[in-house]
């Protein structure tokens, strides 16, 4: 059974229309560009309502114009614990895609400061910590899915990105700890960690490719050629939406690599 309910447009402070109550709500962090905006678009394509969180109001407003009322922009810092709590309470999502991430400071380890080295811990890891904690404590409804964006760097290291690889490895650990707590408390909340391959198709990835190409003494295009088939935001969006739609998989914890060939489950 479904029931029509009125949806409020929070950006304009007015009613935005009517939706089917069975339509699920997803929260996507880091939705203003790159992988996050593509994930938001793909989830909306599949009929979800998406609350998109990022700090850049203009980019979120552009996305809202492109995606329509099913996209609810929220200008906020995703590393704020209160933001996580409040948005989960207000929107009751059954899908969380924890994708927000800072641009790593590029440079070899001895040229980093502790501040630059730890940047991704303060943004990527801190945000994953607050949102997973809020997901367990609220808690999300049984069968909800939390997707955490880690990185292939968590498997192989990333010597020109400060503490990025460790911060992303911690996100994978966090998801496994949270899945275990969900199981122990019989919450039925599922967790999936996704480790995308480096790609020059986003601002963050392009900076990484440029740094590693310079170190190898080749140009960025030659370096990127070794990453073919390239992972694109469109592939990321489609694959994350497919993962979110896979209601047949009841595993509490899953881990995937994500390349230009798509998702590949890790043992």
Nearer to ligand NAP, 31 or 189 (CB): 31
DSSP for the chain reads ---EEEEEETTTTEEEEEEETTS-EEEEESTTSHHHHHHHHHHHHTT-EEEEEES-HHHHHHHHHHH-TTEEEEE--TT-HHHHHHHHHHH--SEEEE---PPPPPB-GGG--HHHHTHHIIIIIHHHHHHHHHHHHTTPPTT-EEEEE--THHHH--TTBTTHHHHHHHHHHHHHHHHHHHHHTT---EEEEEEEPP-TTSHHHHHHHHHHHHHHTS-HHHHHHTTPSPP-HHHHHHHHHHHHH-TT---SEEEEEEETTEEEE--
Least distance (Å) between residue 265 CB and ligand NAP: 17
Nearer to ligand NAP, 74 or 187 (CB): 74
Distance from C-alpha of 89 to C-alpha of 135, rounded to nearest angstrom: 10
Q: Give the strands of the sheet with 253-259, arranged side by side.
A: 71-75, 49-54, 25-29, 95-98, 145-149, 190-196, 253-259, 262-265
How many residues touch ligand NAP (CB under 6 A)?
A: 33
Task: Assess 203 for contact with ligand NAP (CB under 6 A).
Answer: yes
Least distance (Å) between residue 93 CB and ligand NAP: 16
Number of residues assigned to the chain? 267
Q: Which of 24, 36, 64, 163 binds ligand NAP (CB under 6 A)?
A: 36
Task: Assess 124 for contact with ligand NAP (CB under 6 A).
Answer: yes
Least distance (Å) between residue 244 CB and ligand NAP: 16
Stretch that binds ligand NAP, among 129-137, 177-185, 199-207, 259-267 (CB under 6 A): 199-207
Stretch that binds ligand NAP, among 31-39, 110-118, 130-138, 218-226 (CB under 6 A): 31-39
Nearer to ligand NAP, 94 or 151 (CB): 151
Q: Which of 9, 10, 62, 77 binds ligand NAP (CB under 6 A)?
A: 77
Q: Which of 71, 202, 244, 255 binds ligand NAP (CB under 6 A)?
A: 202
Task: Assess 101 for contact with ligand NAP (CB under 6 A).
Answer: yes
Task: Assess 166 for contact with ligand NAP (CB under 6 A).
Answer: no
Task: Assess 56 for contact with ligand NAP (CB under 6 A).
Answer: yes
Task: Assess 33 for contact with ligand NAP (CB under 6 A).
Answer: yes
Task: Assess 256 for contact with ligand NAP (CB under 6 A).
Answer: no
Distance of CA 205 to the CA centre of its chain: 15
Task: Assess 73 for contact with ligand NAP (CB under 6 A).
Answer: no
Q: By the criterion CB under 6 A, which residues form the site for ligand NAP?
A: 29-36, 53-56, 59, 77-79, 99-103, 123-124, 149, 151-152, 196, 198-199, 202-205
């Amino acid at each position: 059974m479904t029931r029509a309910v009125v949806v409020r447009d929070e950006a304009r402070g007015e009613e935005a229309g009517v939706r089917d109550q069975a339509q699920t709500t997803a929260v996507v962090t880091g939705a203003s560009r790159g992988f996050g905006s593509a994930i938001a678009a793909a989830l909306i394509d599949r009929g979800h309502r998406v609350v998109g969180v990022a700090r850049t109001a203009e980019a979120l407003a552009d996305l809202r114009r492109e995606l329509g009322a099913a996209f609810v922009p929220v200008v906020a810092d995703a590393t704020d614990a209160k933001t996580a709590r409040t948005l989960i309470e207000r929107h009751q999502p059954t899908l969380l895609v924890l994708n927000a991430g800072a641009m790593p400071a590029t440079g070899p380890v001895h040229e980093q400061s502790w501040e630059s080295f730890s940047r991704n811990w303060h943004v990527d890891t801190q945000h994953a910590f607050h949102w997973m904690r809020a997901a367990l404590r609220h808690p999300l409804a049984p069968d909800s899915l939390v997707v955490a964006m880690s990185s292939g760097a968590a498997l192989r290291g990333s010597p020109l990105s400060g503490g990025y690889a460790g911060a992303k490895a911690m996100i994978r650990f966090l998801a496994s700890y949270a899945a275990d707590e969900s199981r122990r408390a019989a919450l039925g909340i599922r967790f999936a960690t996704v480790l995308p391959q480096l790609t020059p198709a986003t601002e963050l990835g392009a900076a990484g490719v440029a740094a590693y190409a310079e170190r190898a003494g080749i140009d960025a295009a030659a370096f990127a050629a070794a990453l073919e088939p390239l992972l694109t935001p469109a592939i990321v969006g489609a694959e994350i939406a497919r993962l979110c739609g896979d209601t047949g998989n009841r595993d509490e914890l899953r881990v995937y690599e994500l390349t230009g060939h798509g998702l590949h489950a890790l043992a």
